[in-house]
Structure 1
Amino acid sequence: MTKRIRHRDWRWLALWWHHFFALWSTIYGQTRYSIPEELKQGSVVGNLAKDLGLGLSDIFDRKLRVASEAGKQYFSVDTGKGELVVNDRIDREALCGQSASCVLPLQVVIENPLHLYRIEVEIRDVNDNAPKFLSKEKHLKIAELTAVGARYPLETAQDLDVGINSLKSYSLSKDECFSLKIKELANGRKVPELVLEKTLDREKQGIHQLLLTALDGGNPVKTGTSKITVTVLDNNDNVPVFKKPLYKITVPESSQSGLMLAKVEATDQDEGVNGEIEYSFADHTPEILRSIFQINSATGEIFLKGKLDYENFATHELDISAKDKGIPEMEGHCRVQVEVIDINDNAPEIVLTSKPSPVPEDAPSGTVVALLTARDLDSGDNGKVTLWLPKGSPFKLKPSFSDNYALVTGRNLDRETFSEYNIEITATDSGSPSLSSKKTINVTITDVNDNPPVFSQPSYNVYLKENGVPGSILFSVSASDLDFGENAKVSYSILDSKVQDVSVSSYVYINSDNGSIYSMHSFDYEKLKVFQIQIQAKDQGSPSLSSNATVHVFILDQNDNAPAVIYPSSAAMGSLSHQRMPRSAKAGHLVTKVTAVDADSGHNAWISYRLVEATDASLFTVNLYTGEVRTKRAVSEQDDSSQRLLIEIKDDGEPIQSSTVTVSIILEDGLHEPISDLRHKAAEPSKKTGRITLYLILSLASVSVLSLVTFLILAVKCIRSSSSSSTCCMRRTDSDDYKNPNRNLQIQLNTDGPIKYVEVLGGDMLSQSQSFRSCMSPMSEYSDFTLIKPSSTTDFKEVISVLDASLPDSTWTFESQQIYSLPHAASVITMLREDRE
């Protein structure tokens, strides 16, 4: 019984595929093979590689494989020869049942690139099944008065083979009372009937033994037999007769158990018990039909007992018997044909023909991701399937043929947004109500190098103390890459640039793996205050991508320079400085002025003066901030004519740096210069000083009109503040916008300490800088500007020496402060003319 159901299932599937491939062959050419069933394993079906135009290497390289829709892998490919061979025993009857055509559709899937071929293998029938009767014996009871010509339907034999090998004829053993006739039904089915040829005589022969033989058309012929025993009965001579020999009914497959399908009715002309009829299914009715249908033996009503399934059996045929209760009992027959109406009770199914391959994120639109098939076991509109994707999906379904689809990309993909997709495909049939099912396909997006590394910030500021240890870490930069794997591995490097005409790589180096920047040597603030490093982050993709960031390194000053004496010039050269003063000097007389500079900056450059030793400590004093040496009292006749002073000069740094200068003072009689003449000389500016002042004004004007206006405003403020015994000083601070010289000009008022000064700075911090400073001492009545071009400390001292040599010692004193900027220093000397009492 079970085998018969499977036959019907495969018969339906084979017919479906037969029509499908008939349509396919009209659209696309395909390969077809024909083999007999029951071939041994390993038997060659055909040269698949040759027929598909493939080389033997393509089978392995392109991963050729064969998939069967039958659910079992009956065939495989010999990769060495390219031949399609039998992989398992093929039973045509199990696959296709009684279908005239048995074709196995195969899918040949070739990957790299993905391609699909359709081939057919026709399975030819061989005569491997003999006709078979369901019942080996049949018992008939025939009344002896039965009229000649009465017919009795016999059980039909079943032959699983088809075509010429199927059931062809019946034969009956020789008997003078009976013959065999074949009745052909409308559906082509042949039913053997036993015909009474001669009136029976129970007294002469009460039992007739007959042998019914079924023969097929194979070579050699195969047969099946059924033994028929006819018992001759007496008296009851009328057979129940049905009103219709065939009843046709239709019923939906969704009908519930207990539904009455039909009512058969038979009549018997006999009377009494000989005319009472009992209905039943024929003895040869399969058990599966008995589980689906039942009949009321008294009324002939047929009810639905089990569940109908159109997909398994679209038609059921029931043989009904009507027996009377006479002695002997008589039996009549009819047939009930039940047509099952399909309803939409099967949801569509999505079958993957090929598994999805990973898709690169730069794959063009229309790239094939996977192949799939939609199918529905229902028929008609109930079996028409439509596939669709969720709205907004980056993929599309492209129909190829029949119910086959290709899943393709619909737009550009981005792995950094979605690294994988779970694509939910919905299949909906056209039934009413429609049924649907869903299938989720996972598609992985592979990375391509489409994202450059990105620094955590576009620029970094690093503050570094000077005199650091070479090889110490300065800073660490970091960049991230949104890509994956090698495309996201970042290496760091320093782009070549110049710092003071030297490659930046001689100053620092970078760890290419983690972005840590190390110093190559110690830095000196007095030589280099700021520089920048261009860092490049580069990934390992192909082609690689990169991005840059700028690291600004600011060197912080340390107190590593002792004050340097620049006046008296002889003391600055290391020798003893000799000064002369008259014995007539009164208290407060200006003897000389010690001037020193400190190469450091800020507090580290704040200088103070202190008298450490003296021949007569009661005679002289040193101003703490200006370095002016003055008399504390009037000189007396008892004072030694030779006085020696040891002056200590200290800065304000940590730790404190200091230096000393020794000044020798000779007291002389008659050394005097009128104050009126001295002031007259101071009031008349020298031509040299006037010329330098003019150069300073022109330089400031050329830098910026704005700076000139600002300078004039601050100068007015300084003049006003000087009237209240205070001085002003302007200092330029480092500008962040050092790349624009015009914007780099700054003027700052400095009031630190007793010495007030104005400082004007302009120019690129990374190029040669210029500094102009005006210093006005509160102890001096007059001040003149002296402009010195950018120079080193040695040049500065040389200029002082030249000025000192060109001017009288008794007339001029010098106050100087040196300002360091990148990469050179600029200094301005303020020459003070002092009134001598």
Structure 2
Amino acid sequence: MPKRTSVMKVTAWDADDPTYGSSARVVYSVLDGESFFTVDRQTGLIRTAVADLDRETQDRYELVVMATDMAGQMGGLSGSTTVTIVITDVNDNPPRFPQKMYQFSVPEGAAVGTPVGRVIATDADMGENTDMSYLIKDEEGGELFKVTTDGDTQEAVITIKKPLDFESKRTHNVVVEAVNKHVDPRFLELGSFRDQTIVRVSVTDADEPPVFLPAEGAIMEVQEDARLGALVGTATAKDPDKENAPVRFSIDRSTDQEQIFHIDPVSGSITLGKILDRETAGWHNITVTAVEADNVSQISHSSVSIRILDVNDNPPELARPYEASICEDAKPGQLIHTISVVDRDEPQSGQRFSFTLAPEATNNRHFTLWDVKDNTAGIRTQRSGFNRREQNVYLLPILVVDTGPPALSSTGTLTIHVCGCDPEGAIQSCNATAYVISASLSPGALIALLVCMLILIVLVLLILTLKRHRKGQRMSEDEEDMRDNVIKYNDEGGGEQDTQAYDMSALRNLYDFPEAKSGSSESGPDLHALPQWIQGRVSGDGGAADFSLFKGYIRKKVEQADADLSVPPYDSFQTYAFEGTSSPALSLSSIHTLSTTSEQDFSYLSDWGPRFRQLAGYYAPGHPEEEGS
């Protein structure tokens, strides 16, 4: 602040009459503080008495100002007041580091961004005039370290910008500079508003894993025809620590499951474990592991890309099975087809192929081959007029040779069909058989042949339909016949004396029994064929048995079955048994007696015909055993 800078003005008031002499004429003076401030006697304006007021030394002044009337003459009256003057701050002080050097230490394995330490610069000013920023002055320190400002504490925070290596350099001196953010131009001549300090960073040693060279991964090359055990390349890694511990190598088998490559654990030499094929896999990416021999926890990995170099071990081949067609009236020199080849190899000089006819086709008089010199060839006709009745297919062998080394070749075949064409040259048919038939038959004969074939097909379909209809009808009748003739009777009566256990009229109505003729006495040998316990019950009077009723009914049914052509030729068999009257076990059933009787003879059934369409049930009226099962 310049000297005599106006600060403020004070005013005193006198109640005397200003028109009467000097009673109201007031003058001002400083009683206390005149070393720093002055007051104008007439106006009361307070000014600075010195050029520099330093707020940092004293920021408040108490000034006593006295006012005296009578213009300050003897006998005048006076009054005083205290004026407080506060000095405001300006940015007239630069930042200052309390120390010219700071020292920190950090392990070499610390990650990027790890804080190294904090330093702070002080400023005698106040408020925003103390705001400052920090920066690193030296180039080396700026590459390895980074400094930022903590907005709350105004501290400089030094962090790691790149990994540190104890073996490369153990101590780093970083120059840190503090600069005021708000600089007052009026005070630039007072000096620089910045300060510097040295931050010494000591890197401590740490056990580190092996380091591969190159660190980004190696690329190796090997010929695809290399022998087993051939050297592919060498992986290099070393211990970065000062002890330089030995390193052991291995291949991560998850990246080489087929074990195509092997590595020497000491030297890191990679060799072939299997034969290579570039056409199957042109690149192999494996991961090599390096570990310290005396500390297996220190391990590192590196990717190795192996490129398989091509050798000419695949012959060229036609791109696909080519087929072409020509008209019978083809002209000489007409282009039939253009062919190309493929080769699984990829020579560095590019693919070059030559085309010729195979030796067995050198005397061919029908077609010629034209090598276009761009890895394609054209096939042209050599003569005019082809007859598909004489030969409708030509097989043209073509020899393809690559440039090697060594030169490899293969033979492919072009199939050429001779076809019939319309006058515009559009192909109509290439089938020689169809041509012979159409040439030997007139259009009318062809139409008649087609009509006959159509009629034959209609007749066959009609016969099949009728046969299927008749078969369905017979099957329905068979099913109805089965329902009419199969009867299951499972009811056992109440005993020998129970004559009302079952109503036999249902059987008589179902099979339409004819009325019994009492005059028939025909028995013959049939009576003797029946069991003895039946013989006494089939006779009406206990004498000779009367079988005429049954024999007549069965004969009638056999004649009906033989006369019915719609009935399928199967036999229907049905048995009705009688329950005896004398049970040895005193039981209601005579099953045991029947099962043990060996004198039963059913041979009489064979005398009534080999084919039974229906077998009538047995009914003997007047007997209590008629409830058969």
Task: Mark yes or no: TM-score above 0.5.
Answer: no
- Short-chain TM bin: 0.3 to 0.5
Question: Under a length normalisation based on structure 1, what TM-score does the superposition of the two structures give?
Answer: 0.25
Q: Which has the higher contact order (CA 8 A, sep 6+)?
A: 2
Structure number with higher strand proportion: 1
TM-score for both structures, normalised by structure 2: 0.32
**Greater Rg over alpha carbons, structure:** 2
